[in-house]
Structure 1
Amino acid sequence: MSCPESNITSLEKGDILHQQVLASFPLCDLTEEDLSQNPQFCKLLSTLTQHVDSTGLTLTLKTELEKAEQKLQSQRRNWLQSQGLFQTLKEMIQEHCVKKHHSIVPPDRNMFYETMEKCLLVARCVRMLDPSDTTEKELPNILGLEPEHVLQLMPLEKNVQRMKQSLPHELEKHLKKKCLSLLCYYHPEWENESENLKCTKLMHLSKQVAKDKKSAESLKERCRENKILLQRQTQLYLSELVKCIKLLQTLILDHRLKIQTDLDKKKLEYFEGKCELVLQKIKTEMVEIQLDTYTPDAISAHRKIREKLESELKFRQEEKQSVELKLASFEILGKEFQALAEEYGRLRREIEMKNWALKEFTQFSNK
C-alpha cells in the first residue's frame, strides 16, 4: 500500500515542478510532455529559475539594467521638462501671432512676446554653435560664428527683465487653459461648468488618469497572459489534431483497405451480371426485329441463298489457292519463263484471231 502512495506523491511533485518551470519561462515553447520526457532538462530549468528571470536575464544583469533604466528615465524626464517648456513657449508665441492678426494687442504684451521670441531664437542659435561633450569639438562652426556673436542680438536688458517677471504668470495662465481644455476633452460633460468647479475637478484629474493608466496596463498584461495561454492552447490543439489525423490514417489503411477487396469483388460480380443481362436483352431485341421484318419462308430462302453463296465462296477460294500455287511454281523458273509465257500468249492471240477470221470467211462462203 505504501508504494502506490509514494508514486502518487512523486507524480504530484513532478506536475508541480513542471508547472513552476512553465510559469518561470513563459516565452519558451515548451509543454508538460516535453518536460516529462526530459527530466534532466526540466531539473536544469528549475535550477536556472534561481539565477534568471522570466525573460532570461540574470539577476545581476537585471539589477544593472534597472539602474540604467532609472538613469535613462531621469534624463528623459529632464529632457521632457525642457522640451515641454520650449514647446509651450512656442505655442504661446503662435497664439499671440494669430491673435495679433484678428484683434488689437496692447503694446506691452506685443513687446513681451517679441522679446520672448528673440530670446528663444538666440538660445537655439547659441546651443547649435556650442555643441555638447558628445560631439566632436574639432568641427568648424557654422559660417565661422561664435556664441558671443549671436548673444549680441539679444533684446535690451530691461525688456528681458520685464519679460522674465511676467513669464511665470503668463506661463501659468497658458498651462491652466491647456489643463482645462484637457479636462473638457477627458470629460466633455463638464465643459459648461464654472471655472472654479473645473479647477477643483482638475486637482483629481491626475489621479483618475493614473488610475485609468494602471487599469490599461493591467488589461495589457492580462492580454499578454491570454496571448501566451492562447499560444499554448493552440500548440496543444495542433498536437492533438495531428494525433487524430494519424489515428484516422491508421483506421483508413488498416481497416478500410481490408474490406476493399471484398467490395471490389461484389462490384465486379454485379457488373458481370449486369453485362450478361444487357447482352441477353440485345439478343432478344435482335430476334424480335428479325421476326418483325422477315417471314418464315423468307428466312428459309435467305438461309438457302446464304448456304449457296458460302459454298461458291469456298469453291472460289480453293480455286484461288490452286492458281496461286501454280503462279508460285511458274515464278520459280525466273525471267526466261516469263519471256516464254509472253510469247505463248502472243501466239494464242494470233491463233484466236486467225480462227475468228476463218470462221467469218466460212460463213461468207456458205452464203
Structure 2
Amino acid sequence: MSAGAESTNVSSLGKGDSLHQQVLASFPLCDMTEEDLTQNPQLCKLLATLAQHVDQTGLTVSLKTELEKAEQRLQSQRRLWLRSESLHKGLQEMIQDHCVRKQHATVPPDQNMFYATMEKCLLVAQCVKQLDPSSTTDQDQPFILGLNPHQVMELMPLEKNVKRMKQSLPRELEKHLKKKCLSLLSYYQPECENESEGLKNSKLSHLSSLLDKEKKRAESLKETCRENTVLLQRQAQLYLSELLKCIQLLQSLILDHRLRIQSDLDRKKLDYSESKCELVIQKIKTEMVEIQLDTYTADAIPAHKKIRGKLESELKACQVEKQSTELKLASFEILGKEFEALAEEYSKLRQEIEVKNWAMKELTMYNNK
C-alpha cells in the first residue's frame, strides 16, 4: 500500500479525538486508552489503517468469509446430527415411558408388541453401528466377540412386526413429541395449563419463534454484559490510578502539615514539662515545710535555721581553707623529695611546740589557782 493511500484511509477515519475514539471502537479487545494513542501517534495511524482490513476480532475480510462458510457447513452437519440424535433419544424415552406405564397399569398387547419390536430394532441398530468399522480403522481388525453386522442383523424381529411397527411409529412419535412440547409450553407459560386444546396448539405453533426471540435476547444481554464488564474493568483501572494519585497527594499534605506544626507541638510540650517540673518542685518544698512543722516546734525552727546558716558559713570557710592548703601542698610538691624531709621535720617541731604550749598553759592555770 502506498503512502498516499494510507494517508487517505487515515484521514477518512477522522482527526484528533475522533480518530482515537474510532480506533478504540475498532479494537475493543485491545487494552489501550486515549492517552496511549496520544503518546504514540504512529501506532494510532497504523491501527487506523489496519482497521480498514480487519474486523473487531482481528480477522481479515477473506478469512472472515471462509470462517462464516465453515461455520455454515458445521451448523448444517450439526443440525443433521441433532436431528438423528433427538429422534433416537425420543424413541428411547418412548420405551422408558412404556416400561413405567406397564408397572402401574395394564397395557394392550398390541402396544407391548409395538414397543418390544421398536426396542429390539434399536438394540440391533446400535450393535450394528458398533460392529461396523469406520474408514479410519483397520479393515482387518477382528470384530467384537467375533461377531459381524450380518450375524447381528439376523436377530431382527419378524418382518411383519417390523412393518407394523413402522406404520404406527410416526403417529406414536408425533404424540410423544407433542406431549413434550406441551410440557415445555407449560413450563414456559404456566398460565396455559387451564386453557383449551386449540389455544394450546395455537401457542405451540408460535413456541419456536418465542424461544428463538428469548435466545436472541439472552445473547444480546450476554453481549451487553460482556461490554459492561470490559467498561467496568477500564473504569476500575482509571479509578485505581486516580485513587493512587489522591493517596500520594494526601500523604504529601499530611507530611507538610506535620512538619509545620511540629515546632509548635515541641514548644507546647516544653512549656508543659517546665510547668510540671515547677509544680513538682513546689510540691517538694511544701512537703519539706510540712515535715519540719511536724518534727519541730515553731520556736526551734528559727534556731535551727541560724545554726544551719552558721554551719554553712563555717563549711564554706573550711572549704576555702582546704582549697588554699591544697594549693600550698601543690606548690610544695613541686620542690621534690628533698622538701619532704624538711616538711616532716617541720611538722614534728610544730607538734612539739603545740605540746609545750599546752603544758605551759596548764602550768600557768595551776599557778594561778
Name the counterpart of 2:107. Answer: 105
C-alpha distance in 2, partners of 1:58/1:275?
87
Name the counterpart of 1:208. Answer: 210
Q: Spell out, residue by residue over 1:269-306, the C-alpha distance to the aligned partner (whole angstroms, 9 max, x if none).
A: 33223322332233223323322442245546777699
Flag the 1:131–1:294 CA change in 2: closer, same or farther, 3 A.
Answer: farther
C-alpha distance in 2, partners of 1:269/1:305?
35
Flag the 1:294–1:52 CA change in 2: closer, same or farther, 3 A.
Answer: farther
Name the counterpart of 1:251. Answer: 253
Name the counterpart of 2:133. Answer: 131
C-alpha distance in 1, partners of 2:278/2:140?
108
- Pairs within 5 Å for 1:47-196: 47-137=49-139, 139-196=141-198
C-alpha distance in 1, partners of 2:201/2:293?
118
- Pairs within 5 Å for 1:338-353: none
Secondary structure at the aligned position of 1:257 is classed as: helix
C-alpha distance in 1, partners of 2:288/2:140?
116
Q: Spell out, residue by residue over 1:339-362, the C-alpha distance to the aligned partner (whole angstroms, 9 max, x if none).
A: xxxxxxxxxxxxxxxxxxxxxxxx
Of residues 259, 262, 265, the one that matches 1:263 is 265
C-alpha distance in 2, partners of 1:294/1:58?
114
1:179 alignment partner AA: C
Name the counterpart of 1:6. Answer: none
Displacement after TM superposition at 1:201 (Å): 1.6
2:188 alignment partner AA: Y
C-alpha distance in 1, partners of 2:99/2:255?
85
C-alpha distance in 2, partners of 1:47/1:261?
63
C-alpha distance in 2, partners of 1:136/1:16?
63
Q: TM-score, normalised by structure 2?
A: 0.74
Q: Spell out, residue by residue over 1:88-111, the C-alpha distance to the aligned partner (whole angstroms, 9 max, x if none).
A: 000101111111222222221111
Secondary structure at the aligned position of 1:13 is classed as: coil
What is the RMSD computed on CA atoms of the aligned residues?
Answer: 2.6
Displacement after TM superposition at 1:68 (Å): 2.3
Displacement after TM superposition at 1:36 (Å): 1.4
Gaps of 5+ in 2: 1-13, 323-369
- Pairs within 5 Å for 1:265-284: 265-284=267-286
1:238 alignment partner AA: L
C-alpha distance in 1, partners of 2:138/2:289?
116
2:86 alignment partner AA: G
Flag the 1:261–1:38 CA change in 2: closer, same or farther, 3 A.
Answer: farther
C-alpha distance in 1, partners of 2:37/2:304?
95
Secondary structure at the aligned position of 2:194 is classed as: coil
C-alpha distance in 2, partners of 1:212/1:74?
22
2:179 alignment partner AA: K
Displacement after TM superposition at 1:142 (Å): 1.1
Of residues 16, 30, 33, the one that matches 1:31 is 33
Displacement after TM superposition at 1:195 (Å): 1.6
Q: Spell out, residue by residue over 1:118-146, the C-alpha distance to the aligned partner (whole angstroms, 9 max, x if none).
A: 00000000000113334454543211211
* Higher alpha-carbon deviation: 67-76 or 136-145: 136-145
Displacement after TM superposition at 1:116 (Å): 0.5
Name the counterpart of 1:14. Answer: 16
Gaps of 5+ in 1: 1-11, 319-367
Displacement after TM superposition at 1:178 (Å): 1.1
C-alpha distance in 2, partners of 1:61/1:24?
17
C-alpha distance in 1, partners of 2:186/2:238?
49
Flag the 1:240–1:67 CA change in 2: closer, same or farther, 3 A.
Answer: same
Flag the 1:157–1:248 CA change in 2: closer, same or farther, 3 A.
Answer: same
Q: Spell out, residue by residue over 1:304-323, the C-alpha distance to the aligned partner (whole angstroms, 9 max, x if none).
A: 69969x99xx9xxx9xxxxx
Flag the 1:252–1:163 CA change in 2: closer, same or farther, 3 A.
Answer: same
Flag the 1:275–1:41 CA change in 2: closer, same or farther, 3 A.
Answer: farther
C-alpha distance in 1, partners of 2:133/2:65?
33
Name the count of aligned residue pairs. 301
Flag the 1:275–1:73 CA change in 2: closer, same or farther, 3 A.
Answer: farther
Name the counterpart of 2:239. Answer: 237
Q: TM-score, normalised by structure 1?
A: 0.75
Q: Spell out, residue by residue over 1:61-120, the C-alpha distance to the aligned partner (whole angstroms, 9 max, x if none).
A: 333322222222221111111110000000101111111222222221111111100000
Name the counterpart of 1:321. Answer: none
C-alpha distance in 1, partners of 2:259/2:139?
85
Name the counterpart of 2:340. Answer: none
C-alpha distance in 1, partners of 2:72/2:136?
21
Secondary structure at the aligned position of 1:202 is classed as: helix
Flag the 1:108–1:232 CA change in 2: closer, same or farther, 3 A.
Answer: same
Name the counterpart of 2:4. Answer: none
